[in-house]
Amino acid sequence: MTLEVLTWLIAIPLLGFITGMRTLTPITVLCWFAWLKLLPVDHWAWWSAKLAVVILFTALATLEYVADKYSRMPRPTRPVVLIIRVFFGGLVGAIVASSLDAPGIEGVILGVLGSLAGAFAAYQLRHQLTHRIGCKTWHVTVSEDIFAIACTILCMGIVTG
């Protein structure tokens, strides 16, 4: 399989899935890759390679990680939260597709579908682990954080070849 096929079949949907889990992780890592010139961005996605954008998304992702440790955070499947996750999933998919000189709509669709799956799957997994098995929420959320960061870097490595 070529890297382009892996990108379309695995990387973009998985980036969307991770966006469903952690809204800002994929866009943050993508912006880091763009700023480091590992991901070629031009056209409409030029903004993702700017240092100010990298700093902004890094700060927001860090706040998301901290806030997620508190049980008062809204469910990822609530409509407003889900819309934000779907938006960022589609945005990440579109930027990756654009960097490959491919139609952005395909990236948007894969990112959106992945983010929907990720939001519902992560919510169910967390619910099952904390309520049925008795895991501490903090342990589950830290595990999700590590998984999200590692998978996002892996996916971006696939995308950039």
Terminal Cα-to-Cα distance of the chain (whole angstroms): 13
Q: Is residue 75 part of a domain?
A: no
Question: Which of these, 83, 24, 12, 96, lies nearest to 54 by C-alpha position?
Answer: 24
Domain count, the chain: 1
**Is there a domain that residue 138 lies in?**
yes
In whole angstroms, give the CA distance from residue 30 to residue 15: 10
DSSP state of 92: H
Residue 31 lies in a domain: yes
120 assigned to some structural domain: yes
The domain of 55 spans 3-69+81-160
Tell whether 130 is covered by a domain.
Answer: yes
Nearest CA-CA partner of 144 in 160, 130, 159, 158: 130
Secondary structure tally for the chain: helices H, strands E: 7, 0
CA distance 36 to 101: 19
Residue 74 lies in a domain: no
pLDDT (tens, 9 = 90+) of the chain, 161 residues, equals 576 777 788 899 999 999 999 999 999 999 999 999 999 998 899 999 999 999 999 999 999 999 888 767 777 778 999 999 999 999 999 999 999 888 889 999 999 999 999 999 998 888 888 887 777 878 888 899 999 999 999 999 999 98
